[in-house]
A and B are shown apart, each in its own frame.
Chain A
Amino acid sequence: MDFTFSEDQLLFQESVRDFLVNEVTPEKIRELWQTESGRSDALWAQLAELGLTGMTVPEQYGGLGMNELDFVLLAQEAGYVALSEPLVNSVLVAAPLLIEAGNTQLADEWLAKMASGEARVIVGLEINKLVEDAHCADLLLLEKAGAVYAVNPAEASLRENKSVDPGRKLFAVEFEASTAVLLADGEQAQKLITRALNRGALGVAAQALGLAQRMIDLSVQYTSERKQFGVAIGSFQAVKHHMANIAFRLEYAKTPVYRAAYALANDLKTSSENVSHAKLVACEVADLAAKNSIQVHGAMGYTWEVDLHIFMKRAWAFNSNYGTAGFHKQRVATAIFNDGAQLGAGKTF
């Protein structure tokens, strides 16, 4: 029994955090908001250079051959800077789906390009209705009517929808099945879709942890500087308790997320239930962080100029991404209210 990350995993997290905090600054994010695609090829190339785009790509294709557990802390850091490049979905959803779909021709064609950063492969699951980042896809993997297809973006029509979060690019995507490669249908497709959904939800959950931490940091900094009644507002207990309430809950959202990553990496039977628990509590703590952070910022928090909204809006969008709270509660309920459920002391592991 060892519920800690390895030194390598922690070092990787640290170096990725340093990189992201330096490169993906709020100023940079605002610049990208002004561009047509909202995405940066230069940044994508840097992420590839760090090995990040190939984290879950097998070594034979030039990737690092790592798993969900190796990536979860990095996804957390991506959340901390509200990264908009499709890194988390690429690593956790697209590459594993491409591998598990079992089409060697497609795998051979695309996995190496994913690792090198040459190509972005984008997945669209029906649970999300719209497809994030479809506009920058070199290959689309799409769920449609219970089947999974590989779609050439040139054969798809995109209709852009604007999100409250200017960093999120969302598209309704239409395509004719006849122009696409059928990867799976029936039971096999169901299996692929559930696994992709679980990984996507894990990615959202991990990023939500990072978002919550960022909002705490911004608020602590702001309330230590802003003065009213002659003192820093952060010295008022009502303000402190707003922050403490986020911080203690965050500690109890992290471990369910790490356990979910472990469950996926080890293909445990409890994966779906574990992911749903993680997604629920991580999004809740990010949501609470948004609520309490805007409050302690006063009117400043309600403005476009102050950076807080970059993170707040991402947290709001994440609430229903890769499954609403209702969807995930239903999965937890199924697991714990069934008659053979293993509950109580000593049944966790």
Chain B
Amino acid sequence: MKLEYTEQQNAFREEVRAWLKANVPAEPLKSFDTEEGFQQHREWEAKLYEGRWGMITWPEEMGGRGADLLQWLIFEEEYYAAGAPLRVNQNGIFLLGPTLMEYGTEQQKKRFLNGMATGKDIWCQGWSEPNAGSDMAAIRSRADLSEDGSHYIINGQKTWSTRAVWADWCFGMFRTDPESERHHGLTFILVPLDSEGITVRPIPQLDGLPGFAEIFFDNVKVPVDCRLGGEGDGWSVAMATAGFERGLMLRSPARFQETARRLVELYKANQQSADEDSNIRDEVMRAYMDAEAYCLTTYQTACRLMQGGKIGAEASTNKIFWSELDQRMHATGLKILATRGELEPESPDAGEVGKWLDGWLFSQSGSIYAGTNEIQRNIIAERLLGMPRK
């Protein structure tokens, strides 16, 4: 054990910091759940790509830097500390990208990876359906192979698809074997959202903005070369994606450490009123310790993986930990803001309320998306602890 950065790691941090300092927009971008904001974020992705900072963990020959997980953590720390924009193409770069590298044909890699990296193609995910939420194996949307075998014809409905309103492509799972049940007979398919027969219906989220959407498929023709992996192998390909997502890269510790830092500042600036509630000081301290623990455990996992370990139940333990931490921190922030806590930041009497309300609203979804926390607890009990399934 050596809890010190190497010289190269420090130099890498300096390089990231310098680039961000010169390039992070001075004015915060509009929300990427608005049309204008989405475009701004797409341009930011292009800028990151130009600096080769868009997907540093990708291999160099694919435009990345071949960064290891520790470099990724360092990058993220600088990224959040610099207040850089949220990543509109997280789905592409962190989820589909690595899956494509593992399961895609050479031709698919050539075709898709670059557009993903430059921000030309923004991707959304299509797993959930009205009757397939936590129970993803209940997927019913169908993809039927055409008689000549050249394309699939997709019919059905996906829902809750984040960024789908302005995205270019969707990746997801469809039932290719109509006789099949559960996780058999599903196939992973990439679908251009401008295909004929697709209707995207925006769904406003708690903040009123259309952060996700329903996608209807009405005889949508998709060429077979948009299939990722073999026909009927969708479940295992999808699990690889879910593994990356829940595993490590969905929420880096830096995000929560910055929230904890802001919470300490907020508390100190309002200490007199905050201390009227004797719990608040304790909650602030705990926020700091928990964010710190999340960082420590993530570093431990990263080091273990770099030494050849495999990601296991950490995927579930960390999903619960960060999502519940995020909710607690924002709840405390709002308590400190007291009567101003309910005010939208642009309200005339809001004062410096920052993004606490916005963060609070978003934190409500953290225990739901990417596998609900109940499902994660089931996984921990059954797979990590070996408790009986039935």
Contacts and interface: CB of A to CB of B under 8 A. Distances in A.
Given A255-B300, A345-B254, A243 B381 contact: yes
Nearest to B300: A3
B382 interface: yes
Given A248-B321, A258-B1, A336-B285, A345 B293 contact: no
A42 interface: no
B285 A256 contact: no
Interface string B275-309: 00000011001001110111111011011100100
Given A240-B377, A281-B293, A337 B258 contact: no
B13 A2 contact: no
A258 B292 CA distance: 13
A214 to B, nearest CB: 13
Contacts of A349: 3-5, 299
A283 B115 CA distance: 50
A251 interface: yes
Given A345-B80, A346-B13, A346-B77, A5 B1 contact: yes
B387 A243 contact: yes
Contacts of B281: 333
Interface in A1-50: 1-6
A156 to B, nearest CB: 39
B355 interface: no
A252 interface: yes
Nearest to A341: B264
Contacts of A234: 381, 387-388
Interface string B361-390: 000000000000010111011101111111
Interface stretch (B119-127, B240-248, B312-320): B312-320
A253 interface: yes
A241 B377 contact: yes
A280 interface: yes
Contacts of A255: 293, 296-297, 299-300
A346 B74 contact: yes
A42 to B, nearest CB: 34
Contacts of B299: 1, 3, 255, 348-349
Most chain B CB atoms below 10 A, which of A244, A255, A345? A345
A3 B318 CA distance: 17
A1 B10 CA distance: 11
B275 to A, nearest CB: 11
A141 interface: no
A3 B296 contact: yes
Contacts of A346: 13, 74, 77-78, 81, 254, 257
A1 B9 contact: yes
A232 B386 CA distance: 13
B385 A3 contact: no
Interface in A65-103: 69
Contacts of B389: 235
A77 B197 CA distance: 62
A332 interface: yes
Contacts of B303: 1-4
Contacts of A239: 387
A6 B304 CA distance: 11
A223 interface: yes
A3 B3 contact: yes
B257 A336 contact: no
A309 interface: no
B384 A344 contact: no
Nearest to A325: B282
B268 interface: yes
A248 B9 CA distance: 30
Contacts of B388: 224, 231-232, 234-235
B70 A348 contact: no
B320 to A, nearest CB: 5
B336 interface: no
B339 interface: no
A345 B296 contact: no
B385 A262 contact: no
Nearest to B389: A235
A67 B179 CA distance: 63
B380 A248 contact: yes
Nearest to B262: A344
A47 to B, nearest CB: 25
A280 B290 CA distance: 11
Most chain B CB atoms below 10 A, which of A223, A255, A259, A344? A344
A132 to B, nearest CB: 27
B76 interface: yes
B260 A343 contact: yes
Interface in A110-150: none
B261 interface: yes
B111 interface: no
Contacts of A224: 386-388
B6 interface: yes
Nearest to B253: A345
A262 B303 CA distance: 16
A336 B264 contact: yes
A232 B288 CA distance: 40
Nearest to B380: A244
Q: Which 8 residue pairs across A and B have the least CB separation, nearest first? A: A240-B381, A344-B261, A255-B296, A346-B77, A345-B254, A244-B377, A248-B317, A244-B380
Given A3-B296, A255-B299, 11 more contacts: A3-B300, A5-B1, A220-B386, A234-B381, A240-B387, A244-B385, A251-B314, A252-B294, A255-B297, A281-B289, A344-B258
10 contacts: A244-B380, A244-B385, A247-B385, A251-B297, A252-B321, A277-B293, A280-B289, A343-B288, A344-B260, A348-B257
